[in-house]
């Protein structure tokens, strides 16, 4: 059969079964659209996750004090606060290639405000934390 005869038979069959043709076309359009939307959502999520990883720092080393026992129970990493700012400076002196160094302290404290109070974690750090974490300041300036 010639391609022209085959094409004309196909067009006649599509016209005879208009409802089937329309539903098939609609199914294909919805399927292709769903694939395009899912790919866009996946790429958006990937870009968001990559941005979060970049903001964490790709060559970041965190040094914490060890755990301390409370009876037979070990409290876990960072439970003690035995490291001092002098320890941070000693690390800077011993290792080359350190661009930023930000010693910090974490404690749990009761924060009291006008409308209530919260038991939360309070973190203290140095002014180099913003550069170390690549955190931009939207308004004002980071503390010095």
Q: Domain span at residue 18? A: 3-56
Contact 109, 81 (CB under 8 A): no
Contact 131, 137 (CB under 8 A): no
pLDDT tens per residue across span 69-112: 666 665 555 556 677 888 888 888 888 888 888 888 777 888 88
Contact 47, 59 (CB under 8 A): no
| pLDDT in the model for residue 26 | 95
User: Where are the alpha helices (H) located in the chain, listed in sequence order?
Assistant: 3-16, 18-56, 85-94, 129-133
Of 43 and 75, the one with more pLDDT: 43
Same-domain status, 73 and 101 = yes
Same-domain status, 74 and 120 = yes
Would you say residue 143 lies in a domain?
Answer: no
State how many domains the chain has: 2
Q: Tokens for 131?
A: 């550069």
Same-domain status, 31 and 83 = no
Would you say residue 28 lies in a domain?
Answer: yes
Among 4-18, 35-49, 86-100, name the most confident range: 35-49
């Amino acid at each position: 059969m010639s391609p022209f005869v085959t094409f004309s038979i196909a067009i006649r069959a599509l016209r005879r079964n208009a409802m089937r043709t329309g539903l098939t076309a609609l199914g294909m359009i919805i399927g292709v659209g769903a694939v395009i939307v899912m790919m866009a959502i996946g790429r958006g999520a990937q870009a968001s996750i990559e941005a979060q990883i970049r903001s964490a720092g790709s060559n970041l080393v965190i040094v914490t004090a060890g755990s301390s026992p409370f009876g037979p129970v070990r409290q876990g990493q960072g439970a003690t606060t035995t490291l001092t700012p002098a320890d941070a400076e000693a690390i800077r002196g011993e290792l080359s290639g350190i661009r930023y160094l930000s010693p910090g302290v974490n404690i749990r404290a009761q924060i009291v405000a006008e409308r209530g109070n919260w038991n939360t974690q309070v973190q203290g750090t140095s002014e180099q934390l913003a550069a170390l974490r690549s955190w931009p300041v939207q308004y004002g300036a980071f503390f010095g």
